[in-house]
Amino acid sequence: MSPSWFFTEQVESRESLRENEERLSEQNIKLQRKTIALGEVLEQVETEKNRLKEKVNTNLQAVLLPLVARLKTVRPEQVHKYLNMLEDSLKDILTSFGPALSDQEYGLTQREREVCSLVKNGLTSKEIAKLMDISCRTVDRHRENIRRKFGISGSKTSLIDILQQLSE
C-alpha cells in the first residue's frame, strides 16, 4: 500500500465522519424541536383535562348535588318526577349549564342556582316552593332576582328558554 492511498483513505474517512456528524447534529436539532412541541401538546392536554375536571366538578355542585339533596325530602309519589329531573341533570354534567350558572358575570347565589336548575327542569314556582320548603313568594323573588341578573327583567323573555340555552 502506498502512503498516498492511506492519506486519501484518511481524508475520505474524515469527510465521511464530518458529514455524519452534521447529519447527526441536524437530527438532534429536529429531535429537540419535536420534544419541545410534544411538551407543549402535553401541557395543552393537561390544561384541557383540568378544565374538564373543573367543569364536571362545577356541574356536580351547581346542578346535581342540590337536586340529590332535595330528592331526599320528597314524598314517595313525587320520586319518579324527581328521578327524571336527576337524569336530566346528569346529562347536564357534560354541558356548560353548571359553569354558566356559576359564572361571576351573573353573580347568582347558591339558592338561585338551585332555583335555576329546577326551573330549567320545568318545575312551577309552587312545585319549587314545596320541594325547597320555602314559600311561593320566596321562589318568585328568586326568579325575579335571576331574571334581573340575566338582564331579562321586565321583558317577555322566558327564563326557562334562557336557562335551556345555557345548557347547549
Residue 96 scores a pLDDT above 70 = no
Residue 1 scores a pLDDT above 60 = no
Residue 138 scores a pLDDT above 90 = yes
Let me know: does 59 contact 95? Beta carbons within 8 Å.
Answer: yes
Counting Cβ atoms within 10 Å, is residue 104 exposed (0-12), middle (13-18) or buried (19+)? Answer: exposed
Question: What percent of the chain shows pLDDT beyond 90?
Answer: 25
Residue 38 scores a pLDDT above 70 = yes
Q: Which residue has the higher pLDDT, 153 or 78?
A: 153
> Which position has the grid cell 318568585?
140
Residue 14 scores a pLDDT above 80 = yes
- pTM score: 0.52
Rounded CA-CA distance 54/59 in Å is 8
Residue type, 107: G
